[in-house]
C-alpha cells in the first residue's frame, strides 16, 4: 500500500510556460491540462472531453499544437509551453481575436481558446491559408454553437488583415 502511495506522489518538475520557468508538483499521471489549470492558474485551456477529442485543451508545446489533456506534465520538463495567456501581446493572436469578435466566431466561447491556438499555429506556418487549409486545421477542434462558418471567416479575415499589415511576423 505504501509503495502505491509513493508511486503516485507528486514530484517537482520545472516547466517553461509562456517564457517563464515555474516549478510545479505533478504525479506521474498528472496531465499538463490539470497542471496549467489547477496548479498554475492558467485557465484558458479548457477541459471538455478530457480524452483528446474536442480540442478545447489545445496549447503549444515546442511550437506545435498539443492536447494538454493527453500530455503528461512530467514529460514536459524540457519543453516550451505556450498557452493563450502567453500570447496577449502577439500580433497574430491579436488579429485572430479581433477577427473572431468581428465575424462572430464564438457564441458560448468554450471552444474558442483551443480554436484560437489552432488558428494561431496555422497562420504562423501558412500565412495565406485557403478555406481547405482552415477546415483541415480545425478538424480537431469541436464547436457545438457556431456551425464553423463564422470561425473559418474569422481566420481568413485575420490572415487578410495580417497580410495587408505587412505579414504575420
Q: Report in angstroms how near the CB of residue 164 gets to ligand FES at its nearest.
A: 27
> Which residue lies nearer to ligand FES by CB, 31 or 168?
31
**Could you give phi then psi for residue 22, rounded to 5 degrees?**
-135, 150
> Which residue lies nearer to ligand FES by CB, 67 or 156?
67
DSSP of 44-93: SS--SSSSSSS-TTEEEETTEEEEGGGSBGGG-TT-EEE-GGGGTT-HHH
**Grid cell digits, residue 46:** 479548457
Interaction residues for ligand FES, span 8-67 (CB under 6 A):
47-50, 52-57, 67
Cα separation, 37 vs 154, in Å, equals 27
Place of cell 474558442: 112
> Which residue lies nearer to ligand FES by CB, 27 or 70?
70
Interaction residues for ligand FES, span 69-128 (CB under 6 A):
69, 106-111
**Grid cell digits, residue 111:** 471552444
Binding-site residue total for ligand FES (CB under 6 A)?
22
> Which residue lies nearer to ligand FES by CB, 37 or 156?
37
Binding site for ligand FES (CB under 6 A): 47-50, 52-57, 67, 69, 106-111, 143-146
Amino acid at each position: 500500500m505504501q509503495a502505491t502511495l509513493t508511486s503516485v506522489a507528486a514530484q517537482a518538475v520545472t516547466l517553461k510556460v509562456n517564457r517563464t520557468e515555474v516549478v510545479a508538483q505533478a504525479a506521474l499521471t498528472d496531465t499538463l491540462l490539470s497542471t496549467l489549470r489547477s496548479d498554475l492558474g492558467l485557465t484558458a485551456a479548457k477541459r471538455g472531453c478530457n480524452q483528446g477529442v474536442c480540442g478545447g485543451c489545445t496549447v503549444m508545446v515546442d511550437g506545435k499544437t498539443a492536447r494538454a489533456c493527453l500530455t503528461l506534465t512530467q514529460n514536459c520538463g524540457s519543453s516550451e509551453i505556450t498557452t493563450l495567456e502567453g500570447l496577449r501581446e502577439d500580433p497574430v493572436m491579436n488579429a485572430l481575436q479581433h477577427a473572431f469578435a468581428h465575424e462572430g466566431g464564438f457564441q458560448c466561447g468554450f471552444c474558442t481558446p483551443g480554436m484560437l491556438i489552432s488558428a494561431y499555429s496555422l497562420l504562423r506556418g501558412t500565412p495565406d491559408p485557403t478555406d481547405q487549409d482552415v477546415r483541415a486545421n480545425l478538424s480537431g477542434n469541436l464547436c457545438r454553437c457556431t456551425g464553423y462558418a463564422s470561425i473559418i471567416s474569422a481566420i481568413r479575415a485575420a490572415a487578410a488583415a495580417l497580410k495587408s499589415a505587412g505579414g504575420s511576423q
